[in-house]
Amino acid sequence: MFWRITLCICLALTQTWASAQHVLGKAYLHGDNIPNALGFTAAPPDTLSPLFIYDYMRYEWGKSVRQTKRGEQAAHDADYRMPYIASYFAPALGICISDSLTPALYKLISNVAETASCATFRVKKHYARRRPYVQFDEPTLVRADEESHRHSGSFPSGHTSIGWAVALVLTELCPDRADTLLALGYQYGESRVIAGYHYQSDVDQGRSVGAAALARMHAEVDFLTDLGEAREELSKVRQMPEPVDTEKVSRALKRKPKRK
């Protein structure tokens, strides 16, 4: 298992992290085919409502754990680009996910993530909810992202929609890893509360949007084709024996035998 996790980390670090043009993939849904989340999500809580008090309490909780291991993970989870998404879920599957080693699975996840992200746009624009750190004029856990996110809507959470949709589709492919995959998808969303970029209600509704988008994807031929190819590829990869550590073998062959 160790070699798999190590390989995933190495591949994630060597991919084109700086490429902003293909952060995710190509959406399976467009225009009116995207579920209109305005019709099935509740509006964000009014600042005078009890629900907003809960949002505020969760925001304070998030700040309280920023200097812990959980906070460290939340900082990493601010990355929603595909190399990170792939490396985040890969250990739960016991394989490495990359566009070179598992191209079908990588493509599926990329496109699911992009579709789930797009499904939040209409609601974000409609409510234009201010993010917690903007509303309270406080620093976040990820200072580098503050300016780029300052004027984008907080409700619902796009990160959460992406993470939850990916967790669901991977659970469909690997039901034997369901508990771990769903836990990862859940925590990916909660990280946005800890980081200070979203209220809890943003995250909760993000999961609803991600799930709705994935359900609608199942009516698309392109998605079903990619899903089938990813399932076949994943079945083969998970049956492969662990590869030989060629570097270790090479070192052993070069080592001089001890004289008796």
Catalytic residue IDs? 159, 192, 198, 202
Query: In whole angstroms, what is the distance from residue 158 CA to residue 119 CA?
Result: 8
Largest CA distance in the chain: 84
Can you say whether residue 198 is alpha, beta or left, with left for phi > 0 and alpha for psi between -120 and 50 degrees? beta
The set of residues, in sequence order, having a beta carbon less than 8 Å from that of 73 and lying 6+ positions away, is: 187, 191
* C-alpha distances out from residue 131 to 1, 109, 176, 198, 202, Å: 39, 27, 37, 6, 9
Tokens representing 200 are 């809890």
Query: In whole angstroms, what is the distance from residue 252 CA to residue 60 CA?
Result: 54
Write the DSSP symbol of residue 139. -
SS3 content of the chain, % helix, strand, coil (to 5): 65, 0, 35
Sign of the four-CA dihedral 69, 73, 71, 210: negative
Backbone angles phi, psi at 35, to 5 degrees: -55, 130
